[in-house]
Structure 1
């Protein structure tokens, strides 16, 4: 079991993302509704238990910070013990069981959003190209600690770093 802290201080970059209006249209856009704070530990535990059917779990390894229109959740996954929240991978767990790693850290996630792609589009549709968003690109330029790369490069790298994420989630399910 990974030791985690109960750090729920919202990173400044996510607070800024929460102020951005994401437009979703049938022919494009990003289906993402960012939160202005992490879900509570209790909410996260309740959600994870219901999502997996495993009522022995707690949600300590996740910091949920947004959702799509169907209720799928974007979260920081505390997979790197001892590192700050901003260095943890971003994952998406969809309302119908979809799941995947979206970015290796918060900085890379900002570049993904700047490319006009969100967590749902990546995990459910394998979409790595969208309509670039100038406001999110500026936000990423201010907060990112990683160099700008395409969403495709970022997602491919992150999924290679955590190749068993889906199988690990399967193992939690009952």
Structure 2
């Protein structure tokens, strides 16, 4: 794992605002996302990563966990861009049943995904990317985003093209 942010655990203002939004699961038709109001601690993240991979040699320094789905799958900033701030790191999802994927290339793009009515689980599990746009999350993205609004399909495709080996890299960590 690469430590890229010198242990930065300051919660970005955009995520603090996301944490105040109530996501409507709507019996499986809505967004299955429960945002946190702080990052998981380094210890919690390391413990989770070791159990998720079965590899007790790992530490969780490369991840800043900021939310979960209803089954316990986690959304995180993946600190893979050396020297760049947390908001410029990609957003990834690691599900409770082994699902995983890159959701967005940065926090700004992730805000647009949320505005489209999709969460990290929906992006990783489905390829339709048909959500129910949210006026609340659109306004939040308009306040915080530094990237232009694009479709979720474009955001996800671009992010996955930038990090094509994410899933294989995770497989290599598993024991």
Class of the TM-score when normalised by the shorter of the 2 chains? over 0.9
Shift of 1:163: 0.2
Shift of 1:145: 0.1
- 2:156 aligns to what SS in structure 1? helix
1:73-84 correspondence runs (5 A): 73-84=74-85
Alignment TM-score, normalising by the size of structure 2: 0.97
Alignment TM-score, normalising by the size of structure 1: 0.98
Which aligned runs of 4 or more in structure 1 are off by greater than 4 angstroms? none
- 2:66 aligns to what SS in structure 1? strand
- Answer yes or no: is the 8 Å Cα contact 1:15–1:36 preserved in 2: yes
Partner of 1:22: 23
- 1:29 aligns to what SS in structure 2? coil
Shift of 1:125: 2.2
1:148-163 correspondence runs (5 A): 148-163=149-164
- In structure 2, list runs of 5 or more residues that go unmatched: none
The alignment of Structure 1 onto Structure 2 pairs a total of residues equal to 174
- Answer yes or no: is the 8 Å Cα contact 1:117–1:127 preserved in 2: no
- Answer yes or no: is the 8 Å Cα contact 2:104–2:159 preserved in 1: yes
- The alignment yields a C-alpha RMSD, in angstroms, of 0.9
Instruction: Give distance in 2, aligned partners of 1:130 and 1:101.
Output: 18
1:41-56 correspondence runs (5 A): 41-56=42-57
- Answer yes or no: is the 8 Å Cα contact 1:92–1:119 preserved in 2: yes
Partner of 1:71: 72
Partner of 2:2: 2
- Answer yes or no: is the 8 Å Cα contact 2:34–2:70 preserved in 1: yes
Instruction: Give distance in 2, aligned partners of 1:127 and 1:119.
Output: 13
- In structure 1, list runs of 5 or more residues that go unmatched: none
Shift of 1:28: 1.6
Partner of 1:60: 61
Partner of 2:171: 170
Shift of 1:3: 3.0
Instruction: Give distance in 1, aligned partners of 2:7 and 2:127.
Output: 32
CA distance 1:27–1:53, change in 2 (3 Å): closer
Instruction: Give distance in 1, aligned partners of 2:28 and 2:65.
Output: 27
